[in-house]
Amino acid sequence: MITDSKAVNVIHNPVLPGFNPDPCIIRVGEIYYIAVSSFEWLPGIRVYQSDNLAEWEYCTDILTDQIDLRGNPKNCSIWAPQLSFHDGLFYLLYTDVKSTKRPFKDCHNYLITASSIHGPWSEPVYLNSSGFDPSLFHDDDGRKWLLNALWDYRITEGNKSSGIVIQEYDQTERRLTGKPRKLFDCTPLKKTEAPHIYKRSGYYYLITAEGGTGSGHAVTVARSSELLGEYEVDPLNPMLTSRGNPELALQCAGHGSLVETPSGEWYMAHLCTRPLEGQYAILGRETALQQVYWNDEGWLRLTAGGSSPKTEVPLPGGAALKGTGSLDFRDEFDCPALKPQWNTLRILPDESWCSLKQRPGYLRITAGESVQSLFRHHIAAVRQTSPSFRAETALEYEPAMYLQMAGLMLYLNEDNYWYAYVSHEEEWGKVLRLMRCERDEFTVEPYRISVPEGGPVQLAVDVTGVMGQYYYRIQAEGEWLTLGGSQHLGFLSGGFTGNFIGIAAHDMNQFGGSYADFAYFRYQARD
């Protein structure tokens, strides 16, 4: 459960703290669902659920063995899911991005369906690759239409998103039909993406994201009396944005989607960031909610007025809070399967490398390729969900050489990480060391700490805002000792994801040639 214990009759933002970007919100009966992007982390497309819009809990992950992410570069893979429900069926659209190397984008759009949010989901239907952020609109006449951002490599300056394209989808044939048509050009904000269409009071409303996913991000609204246009832009555009207001607690507001409550109230889910020291979005892009309404002219407006995102918004009428949530997480590895908070990179966990059975009461991670591998990086990690926290683990590992290592890691991507690890070095034996990669500049700290063979090592990391410190101890009840000095963690900010805290094992001598047994993992959030 994700909540805020101080909440009284309000929704506290962000409702999904930590790396939870590109939200798509829907309601089915009395239950609300939000699906978010996963990028290179698996399982893919995390879904949360709520019955009051304020308190959210894990529901399911949708993408598992339908996809192959091995080798995909950082910030690629699974982008911007769109979830809808029509005639008793859930529809899920997503993009699998294989490359973003300019001037092109290799981004493949797919559709899967299920009668239950928990699946089973159908085999993916390939749709197109002309752009990203696919969205399916179900019109009243039974026809279905695919929208997506259109990428134009011929644009010579700036972002190459050239607007929104639409094409009909034939559900019987399970394919696109007819020709794609340009539906909407960019406004002066440019970088148009994330389209959703909602039909209300005789108008088709097109909700898009513009301005890029950074500080200029925004929600643009346009409408037309005909599905295929033309579309009139909101005269007060942008409808929601943080641009030009660096003092706001929620930055980068954009990428919105709408939901109506049973009593007729409207809310918008959108992504945001909470930069530490005004510039380091270490937690990544998060999900917030704003209450909105339709004014007399038929345009969408924030209930609170203006266009700036608020950290507190009203609860829906009649909603009640339970107040039972916590951002803390612990796993004693005494369950038959990994808890759903865990994530892995580009490959799913299985018995070949991530086992709870080989030594009951422990998670055995068989060592994979290097920390920078795009194929077999054997790491299990959880999202950082609070600006300050402490994470702790204990591992048993007996490396035979310096090419073997296992430990505790802060990880943004293969170019940005900080790793406390157990290894083995000539003339030293079993040692503790630190390595760091900062914006693709790699450093191994010069000192080593000898630790006894044949016993467990406990590792912890304590993070307060942008500063972090590793600790270790050998005796279970002994004193925690500092491992190296404190570090500024600003390099764990940037890109499309957020910081993760992971336990991992690597063997560059022979992947699969060693293993580490982890006794527990604990994450404790702090205010």
Instruction: Using DSSP, state whether 151 is helix, strand or coil.
Output: strand
- The neighbour count for residue 475, using CB atoms within 10 Å, is 9
Give the separation between CA 195 and CA 347, rounded to whole angstroms.
Answer: 29
Instruction: Using DSSP, state whether 492 is helix, strand or coil.
Output: helix
- Pair of tokens at residue 312: 């507190």
Amino acid at 123: E
Question: Residues 352, 358, 363, 366: what is their CA dihedral angle, to the nearest 10 degrees?
Answer: -40
- Pair of tokens at residue 185: 């050009």
End-to-end CA distance of the chain: 17
Instruction: Using DSSP, state whether 490 is helix, strand or coil.
Output: helix
Express the helix, strand and coil content of the chain in percent, nearest 5 each.
Answer: 0, 50, 50
User: Quick one: 527 exposed, middle or buried, by C-beta within 10 A (0-12, 13-18, 19+)?
Assistant: exposed
Give the phi and the psi of residue 360 in degrees, each rounded to 5: -55, 135
Give the separation between CA 312 and CA 309, rounded to whole angstroms.
Answer: 9
- The neighbour count for residue 233, using CB atoms within 10 Å, is 17
- The neighbour count for residue 485, using CB atoms within 10 Å, is 9
Give me the residue label for tokens 């009593």: 263
Give the separation between CA 282 and CA 276, rounded to whole angstroms.
Answer: 7
- The closest of 128, 119, 525 to 326, measured between CA atoms, is 525
Give the separation between CA 430 and CA 448, rounded to whole angstroms.
Answer: 10
Give the separation between CA 156 and CA 267, rounded to whole angstroms.
Answer: 38
Give the separation between CA 33 and CA 23, rounded to whole angstroms.
Answer: 10
* Sign of the Cα pseudo-torsion (169, 175, 178, 182, in order): positive
Is 22 one of the annotated active-site residues of the chain?
A: yes
- The closest of 130, 131, 110 to 122, measured between CA atoms, is 110
Give me the residue label for tokens 């690890």: 421
91, 111 in Cβ contact below 8 A? yes
- The closest of 385, 330, 337 to 357, measured between CA atoms, is 337
Active-site choice (4, 40, 55, 193): 193
Active-site choice (22, 234, 396, 507): 22
Catalytic residues: 22, 193
